[in-house]
Amino acid sequence: MPIPRDATLADVGEFGLISELVSHFPQGEHVLVGPGDDAAVLRIKQGHVVVSTDLLVEGRHFRRDWCDAADVGHRAAAQNLADINAMGGTGHSLTLGLAAPADLPARWAVEMAEGFAAECGLVDASVVGGDLTRADQIVVAVSVLGAVRKAPILRSGARPGDVLALCGRQGWAAGGLAILKRGFRSPRALVEAYRRPEPPYAAGPAAAEAGATSLIDISDGLLAEAGHLAADSGVAIDVRTDSLVVPEPLHAVASATGADPLTFVLGGGDDHALLGTFPADAALPEGWTVIGAVGERTDGPLVTVDGEEYDGPTGWTHF
């Protein structure tokens, strides 16, 4: 029986909502036991199992006046699936936890689940379980399991002489966030990029096949993530700005806000593009662009921009 549009979570109850949500999550052939038991049971094929977990907290990671429920679902799934992509793999199974106030419209939870399921469908992943509880604010907690056909690509494998490369749009979500903070909704393309990221899901496995030495998804900022690669690999990285694409909408936002459009690309997160390093003689997969180089670790900064220390924003910090 469909949930009435004006019903709250308190009206529907935990098990009524679970029954509704489960109906939106089709199961893949690898799922032996899906939602409904104490735990899911999966059939794992050859390769490595990779696991990641993320949280979205209302007021911290999203606002309901900026994103509708389906947007939140897309974002929650995308940021987790992107983590598996950054290991050179593909996500196949996710669990979804939701904590929310009792007076939250039940329809919001259903539409969030619909968006979550739609994003999972882009890589044929299944939602195999989850949990619900009452809380003072909305919290979405997601865990994802994926598979890597060969060895996972870690952050620690970059070597001096490698090239630094980027795949996916970068800086768009940061531009959209800047617009929303000022109370505007245009350029719409940037706002939509913030609401629903578009990770290049095929790029991780393709990079692994091409011999990538390290990978990371850009959730917090290009320079921040380059810093993680450099620190974990014991190298130095230089980013070349003449190789970065700054789309026209970012120029428009920068002009309106008095910002340098490059700051959105260098320090912006939430697009979940992939940043990786490859041997200099590797043939990069389609969609990848060389944007820098890997060198020997020195006493200087781990990451430079055009050979110089960068004093602008490098990315998001959580604390």
List per-residue pLDDT tens for the chain, 319 residues long.
Answer: 678 888 888 888 877 777 787 878 888 878 777 776 666 677 777 678 999 999 999 999 999 999 999 999 999 999 999 999 999 999 999 999 999 999 999 999 999 999 999 999 999 999 999 999 999 999 999 999 999 988 899 999 999 999 999 999 999 999 999 999 999 988 999 999 999 999 999 999 999 999 999 999 999 999 999 999 999 999 999 999 999 999 999 999 998 888 899 999 999 999 999 999 999 999 999 999 999 999 999 999 999 999 999 998 888 765 4
Task: Classify burial at 161, counting beta carbons within 10 Å of its beta carbon; exposed 0-12, middle 13-18, buried 19 or more.
Answer: middle
- Tokens, residue 119: 């994003």
Q: Report whether 130 belongs to an annotated binding site.
A: yes
CA dist 173 → 179, 184, 252, 275 (Å): 10, 14, 14, 16
Which pLDDT value is given to residue 128?
94
Q: Report whether 281 belongs to an annotated binding site.
A: no
How much is the pTM?
0.90
Give CA–CA dist 219/315, Å, rounded. 9
Q: Report whether 162 belongs to an annotated binding site.
A: no
Which pLDDT value is given to residue 247?
92
Q: Report whether 182 belongs to an annotated binding site.
A: no
Q: What domains does the chain contain, in order, with CATH numbers?
A: 9-148 (3.30.1330.10), 155-305 (3.90.650.10)
Q: Report whether 38 belongs to an annotated binding site.
A: yes
Q: Report whether 213 belongs to an annotated binding site.
A: no
Q: Report whether 23 belongs to an annotated binding site.
A: no
Q: Report whether 11 belongs to an annotated binding site.
A: no
- Residue whose C-alpha is closest to residue 155's, from 302, 310, 284, 286: 302
Q: Report whether 289 belongs to an annotated binding site.
A: no
Give CA–CA dist 103/92, Å, rounded. 33
Q: Report whether 103 belongs to an annotated binding site.
A: no
Q: Report whether 311 belongs to an annotated binding site.
A: no
b/e per residue 264-278 (b: at least 16 CB within 10 A)? bbbbbbbbbbbbbbb
Which pLDDT value is given to residue 317?
63
Q: Report whether 219 belongs to an annotated binding site.
A: yes
Give CA–CA dist 244/289, Å, rounded. 9
Say which residues have a Cβ less than 8 Å from residue 288's Cβ, sequence separation at least 6: 165, 166, 167, 203, 207, 276, 278
